[in-house]
Amino acid sequence: MAQTTAPGAAQEELNPFKIAQRQFETAADYLNLDESTRQVLKNAKRQLVVSIPVRMDGGEVRVFEGYRVQHNIARGPAKGGIRFHPSVTLDEVKALASWMTWKCATVGIPYGGGKGGVICDPKSMSKGELERLTRRYAFEIAPIIGPDRDIPAPDVYTDEQTMAWIMDTISMVHGHTELGVVTGKPIALGGSQGRGEATARGCLYAVREACRVRGISLRDARVAIHGFGNAGANFARLVSAEDGARVVAIADSRAGVYNENGIGVQSALRHKAETGTIEGLANAAPIPRDEVLEVDCDILLPAALENSITLANVGRVRAPIIAELANGPVTPDSDRVLFDRGVFLIPDILANAGGVTVSYYEWVQDQYSYFWTEDRVRETLEQTMRDSFASVYATAERYRTDMRTGAYILAVGRVAEATRVRGIFP
């Protein structure tokens, strides 16, 4: 169990699944849920652990461990990404699956929560090795996924090519093309316009609403982004180009950079594409990557992995608005510290829900073989995110609590009602 100690503070629980259950219990207390309902909603419906033998380029066979967890399907099929990462654990995947349940309920789309992961280091593997790993993993989880069962999508270190391999593998197993078995696919294989930037764009719409509530202008606002993968990089591009914000700090997995006058986002994107990192970016001072969380800014985007802001560093976080572009980057104890200081935090189950929302649009398009324009995707996403923000904000105000708790009260209540009216079989 991962733990850390802040000066003068007790040990903090950092197990992601225990954190997810704690967040659920907080909402369940507000809703006065009975113990039976709590037991059903806080436990995963299905957990699959698979061994994945892969022939490496050198001829040897390595066996990787992979997971697929379906947390809840009361409101529809499970939905959630697949991550390839050396630190993937079953508890992490269980937490991510449960967060997906609440995320889908927060934005009102008819899915439950699922998640998958493989313990591997994709940065050290060739494209051929990654393809063989992906296809064998897809084959192993094939019995429990499908357009009406569980629909995977990209996540950390997976992308549209990964999804194309999974779609093709499942299609070969079934003997016919299954466009809707995954989302986040290439356009040529039934992907949706706007899916690649959907997580970032959805977050931008939520940040605009938060700025409106707080009376802050995004134009020339100072933005720091901790994590420069697909979501973080797209957010930097969008918020600077469309809203005139200044991106003053960026961190990726290897380095951090800072310029109080603003980093040239297009230059940063080119440098990252050419070198694989933002390290050495011109016209920006190098700083330790985790210090990006602590720079003086107006809006902070934790966009990397879980537990980025803990009791160990929350006292040094200075942003008045935080939008969780990653899943679970702020611990519950840090939540309380930030709320008491008046920080406005947009929780992950709202802030990064743009990805699963447009995944839903893609799934709908695949089901009907009728595809939308990018303008329609963006307009529909903006309306969904604005409506969802308003619902979460109203719930938080009604219960006189923070935005995360407001989102959980809203989401857990919706899933609890679906569970109640469906009943328990047999």
Residues with Cβ within 8 Å of residue 178, at least 6 apart in sequence: 146, 147, 167, 170, 171
The tokens describing 405, both together, are 């708790």
Please name the helix (run of DSSP H) or strand (run of DSSP E) that holds residue 114, with its range, or none: strand 112-119
With 80 as the cut, is the pLDDT of residue 134 above it?
Answer: yes
Query: Angle between the 35-42 and 16-31 helix axes, to the nearest 10 degrees?
Result: 150
CA–CA gap between residue 334 and residue 307 (Å, rounded): 10
Residues involved in catalysis? 115
Tell me, what DSSP letter sits at residue 187?
A: G
CATH pick for 198-351 out of 3.30.70.2190, 3.90.1570.10, 3.40.50.720, 3.90.76.10: 3.40.50.720
pLDDT of residue 305: 85
Residue type at position 141: I
**HSE toward the beta carbon, residue 80, CA cutoff 13 A:** 31
pLDDT band at 11; cut points 50, 70, 90: confident
Residues with Cβ within 8 Å of residue 387, at least 6 apart in sequence: 108
pLDDT of residue 153: 96
With 80 as the cut, is the pLDDT of residue 2 above it?
Answer: no
pLDDT of residue 10: 53
Report pLDDT digits (tens) over 152-206.
999 999 999 999 999 999 999 999 999 999 999 999 999 999 999 999 999 999 9
Report pLDDT digits (tens) over 37-56.
999 999 999 999 999 999 99
pLDDT of residue 4: 39
* Measured CA distances, 186 to 138, 153, 161, 191, 200 (Å): 17, 12, 7, 5, 18
3-state secondary structure of 55: strand
Other beta carbons within 10 angstroms of residue 326's beta carbon come to 24
pLDDT of residue 164: 98
pLDDT of residue 238: 98
CATH 3.40.50.10860 fits 44-179, yes or no: yes
> Under a CB-based contact definition with an 8 Å cutoff, are residues 197 and 238 in contact?
yes
Report pLDDT digits (tens) over 201-220.
999 999 999 999 999 999 99
| Three-point CA angle 199, 101, 119, nearest 5° | 75
pLDDT of residue 8: 40
Burial class (CB in 10 A: 0-12, 13-18, 19+), 12: buried
The tokens describing 67, both together, are 């997971």
**Which of 171, 112, 120 lies closest to 142 in space, CA to CA?**
171
| Backbone φ/ψ region at 70: left (φ over 0), alpha (ψ -120 to 50), beta | beta
Other beta carbons within 10 angstroms of residue 304's beta carbon come to 25
Please, where are the H alpha helices in 276-342?
A: 332-340
> Under a CB-based contact definition with an 8 Å cutoff, are residues 393 and 406 in contact?
yes
With 80 as the cut, is the pLDDT of residue 361 above it?
Answer: yes
pLDDT of residue 330: 97
Name the average pLDDT for the chain. 95
CA–CA gap between residue 222 and residue 244 (Å, rounded): 10
Report pLDDT digits (tens) over 83-95.
999 999 999 999 9
- Residue span(s) of the chain under CATH 3.40.50.10860 come to 44-179
Q: What are phi and psi of 264, to 5 degrees?
A: -70, 105
Helices (H) and strands (E) in the chain, counts: 13, 14
With 70 as the cut, is the pLDDT of residue 274 above it?
Answer: yes
Other beta carbons within 10 angstroms of residue 387's beta carbon come to 12
- Residue span(s) of the chain under CATH 3.40.50.720 come to 198-351
With 90 as the cut, is the pLDDT of residue 9 above it?
Answer: no
Please, where are the H alpha helices in 324-373?
A: 332-340, 348-351, 354-368
